[in-house]
Amino acid sequence: MYSGYELLWIFFVYALLGWCTEVSYAALVTGKFVNRGFLNGPVCPIYGFGAAIIFLCLEPLKQNLLLLFLGSVLLTSLLELAAGFVLEKLFHQRWWDYSDEPFNLGGYICLRFSIAWGLIGLFVVDLLHPTVMLLVRLLPHTLGVVLLACFGAVIAVDLAATGSSIARLNRQLKQIDALAGRIRELSDELGENLADKVLEAAEKGTAWKEELDEQTKQLRVDAAERKEERSQERLRRRRQRQQELAELGEKLEHALDGHAFGQRRLMRAFPKMRSIQHHQALQRLRRRMERKEQS
């Protein structure tokens, strides 16, 4: 049985090792460094929680490799499923998505990575963990407590900063969607005005072929004057809408360029991140960021 002190060290050590694993995997896939953690610092808390759960529940099974493997698959998959669901409900973002993988469950987990977690569980319990615990127990207890307190404070600050970045990102996505919606409305209105002008021109083209008496001609003059007034009013509204459309375009461009470091880092860290409420806005923001990085 582990003490609370040892469990905290297990959490921090494996959160760090998990971050190293994620960064290494991303480097192999993309050919460049990407901070793949949910937080800004070099930790992936889900790995720390996963390690603590495995050692608490499965270490007694270390002599039975099959049960250890199956238990690791089950526990880590449940943890990943719960984490993905909770994070989505809290922040309205789908942070990872395995929907393209065969045998996935809601896109939160998939068979391929569940098997990988099972193999990692075997490696960690049988080979890595004894060395980790030896180093932890060699550390003077007082120094260990001080370090844990420092690490905890740093993670708390990091968590607050990350939460703030996510909140700003959600506000930005909401603004982008609102601007894009208004731009679509104005474009539709301008399109309707153009259609009205075409229909009006077609009607005038057939009117001159009719033979009219003086009363009918006068009625047409009056109607033409009213149409001219309406035409001028429509032209004025059209120019106003074109001006508003240009202003909205500038605001949208500013909104797309307004993402801060924390928001950019999150989009790089989670390339499959999907906004539940503002999916199109997130795609626009991601494309804008990628174009700026390429230029």
Residue pair 87/93 in contact (Cβ under 8 Å)? The answer is yes
Token couple for 138: 């060699």
Question: In Å, how far are 13, 18, 42 from 21, measured between CA atoms?
Answer: 12, 5, 11
Backbone dihedral region for residue 106 (phi beyond 0: left; psi -120 to 50: alpha; all else: beta): left
Query: How high is the mean pLDDT of the chain?
Result: 81
Integer Cα distance of 98 and 109 in angstroms: 6
User: At CA 281, angle to CA 275 and CA 282, rounded to 5?
Assistant: 50
The partner residues of 274 in beta bridges, in order of sequence, read 94
Of 25-39, 43-57, 195-209, where does mean pLDDT reach its minimum? 195-209
Residue pair 58/68 in contact (Cβ under 8 Å)? The answer is yes
Residue pair 23/36 in contact (Cβ under 8 Å)? The answer is yes
Confidence class for position 222, pLDDT limits 50, 70, 90: low
Whether 41 shows a pLDDT value over 90: the answer reads no
Confidence class for position 229, pLDDT limits 50, 70, 90: low
Averaged pLDDT for residues 39-55? 92
Cβ partners under 8 Å of residue 60, min gap 6: none
pLDDT single digits (tens) 14-32: 999 999 998 898 888 878 8
Spell out the alpha helix ranges (H) of 92-213: 111-123, 129-138, 141-207
More confident residue, 285 or 111: 111
Closest CA to 274 of 35, 102, 88: 88
pTM: predicted TM-score of the whole model, two decimal places: 0.75
Averaged pLDDT for residues 57-67? 91
Integer Cα distance of 38 and 76 in angstroms: 17
Integer Cα distance of 204 and 66 in angstroms: 85
Question: In Å, how far are 19, 25, 62, 66, 121 from 127, measured between CA atoms?
Answer: 19, 21, 11, 16, 10
User: At CA 40, angle to CA 273 and CA 28, rounded to 5?
Assistant: 65
Cβ partners under 8 Å of residue 119, min gap 6: 69
Q: Report the share of the chain in percent with pLDDT over 90.
A: 39
Looking at residue 210, its pLDDT comes to: 45
How is the chain split into domains, by residue range? 4-139, 170-263
Confidence class for position 184, pLDDT limits 50, 70, 90: confident
Cβ atoms within 10 Å, residue 21: 15
Whether 207 shows a pLDDT value over 50: the answer reads no
Averaged pLDDT for residues 172-186? 78
Instruction: Assign 100 to helix, strand or coil.
Output: coil
pLDDT single digits (tens) 112-169: 999 999 999 999 999 999 999 999 999 999 999 999 999 999 999 999 988 888 888 8
